[in-house]
Structure 1
Amino acid sequence: MSGIDYKDIVLRKALPDESDRLYDLVTADERWTEFNAPYFPYQTPTRDSFEQGLFQDLLEGRNKKVIEYRSQPVGTVSCYWVDENTRWLEAGIALYDSRQWGKGIGKQALVAWISHLFDTCDIARMGMTTWSGNPGMIACGESIGFKIEGRLRRVRYFKGTYYDSIKLGVLREEWQQLYDMTERR
């Protein structure tokens, strides 16, 4: 199966026969929901809603892809237009299996994904948004070349505490200086 290969990971479309496997990945260890915008209501998807939603997006593989590490799915990368007319694109990542955290998988997946998006989209900048309650995501973004471009103070209220919304970004020319676009192929 073709995908985007980079070091120890592959970003790829979902396979038609792996709905159950990916559903179990997303729902078995929901620790990821503590960091992935937990101030928005989350409910474990039903199998049917998963198959009609996220799984369909992963099968299509355009705006969402499976992260495979050592031949095992461990998460997803995604992108969405904040404003397609002005070419404002944001990226995201979710590592569902908490046993895989801290291994550099997220960094590798984001380098491959951001490089792919710069290769395939006519954009000058790539953005990511997180919150101050997710210092690991902030550190990951900064470690691969993103800069904190904005901080909206105390706009995320969660479990009795206010948190900041953090905007990170990297310009195409900054990315090209950091990553040889041919080294990941």
Structure 2
Amino acid sequence: MSEPLKGSLVQLENLTEKDLPVLWDLLFNEDYPEWRKWDSPYLTLQPIEYEKFYDQMLNLMKQELDKQLLIKVSDNIIGVLFYDWEHESSNSLEIGIAIYHPTYRDDQYVADALITWMDFLFYTFPIPRIGLTTWSGNERMIKIGKELGMMEEGRIRKSRLYRGKYYDSIKLGILREEYENLTIKKNNPSIMDI
């Protein structure tokens, strides 16, 4: 992707080398950041030295330039979006989002970033559907996904253990034809109602 993708509230851009210090700080500046409570908290995120992070990210950027984009508001990095092929030969694609900056965890920023990303992915790839997997402890993400037209397609019960309690893995998805019929679209003022 050469040009940034503009939503109503956010802009999606390729990660560049100059962004790495800010991204590292958002990820590792606190021992227990607020964003970790919602972004797969049952997975361990080990702090790493900046130099190692820098080398790993440069390598990743060379391999998968468009698979991960920064979410920005007024040139400030607030999070990332990504996609991954669940099964590329079947055109089965999954997306994910993480908002690191506490000021922008509002549903409107998340919804705008997701709509802008889904527009790009449906336009770019001949995919029949976009999936998003989260966990039952992230009720806001489930709510936003459903408000954006995604349906709960699967629930793997008690598959995520977090702080001694089991949670479900939730699979959401939207088909291309469902997405094309949505009244909520990128740059549509109605997205502000979410």
Deviation at 1:68, TM superposition (A): 0.5
Q: Which amino acid aligns with 2:148?
A: I
Determine if contact 2:156/2:170 at 8 Å carries over to the other structure.
yes
Paired residue total: 184
CA-CA distance at 1:8 after TM superposition = 1.4
**Structure 1 counterpart of 2:9, one-letter code:** D
Q: Is the 8 A contact 2:35 2:99 kept in 1?
A: yes
Q: Aligned partners of 1:139 and 1:54: how far apart in 2?
A: 31
Post-superposition CA distance 1:4-50 (Å, at most 9, x none): 00111110012332221221122235221221112222212321232
**CA drift at 1:52:** 2.6
Contact 2:8 2:186 in 1 (8 A): no
Q: Structure 1 CA distance, aligned partners of 2:102 and 2:59? A: 24
Q: Is contact 2:17-2:58 (8 Å) kept?
A: no
**Native 8 Å contact 1:90 1:128 kept in 2:** yes
How much identity, in percent, do the aligned residues show? 32
Of 145, 150, 162, the match for 1:141: 145
Q: Which moved more, 1:150-159 or 1:160-169?
A: 150-159
Residue 103 of structure 2 is matched in structure 1 by: 99
Residue matched to 1:118: 122
Q: Secondary structure at the match of 1:18?
A: helix
Unpaired segments ≥5 residues, structure 1: none
Cα distance in 2 between the residues matched to 1:167 and 1:89: 12
One-letter identity of the residue aligned with 1:88? S
Of the three residues 170, 178, 188, the one matched with 1:166 is 170
Question: Which ranges in structure 2 are unaligned for 5 or more consecutive residues?
Answer: 189-194
Work out the CA distance in 1 between the residues paired with 2:14 and 2:88: 23
TM-score, normalised by the number of residues in structure 2? 0.86
SS of the residue 1:51 aligns to: helix
The 1:183/1:108 distance shift into structure 2, 3 A limit, reads closer
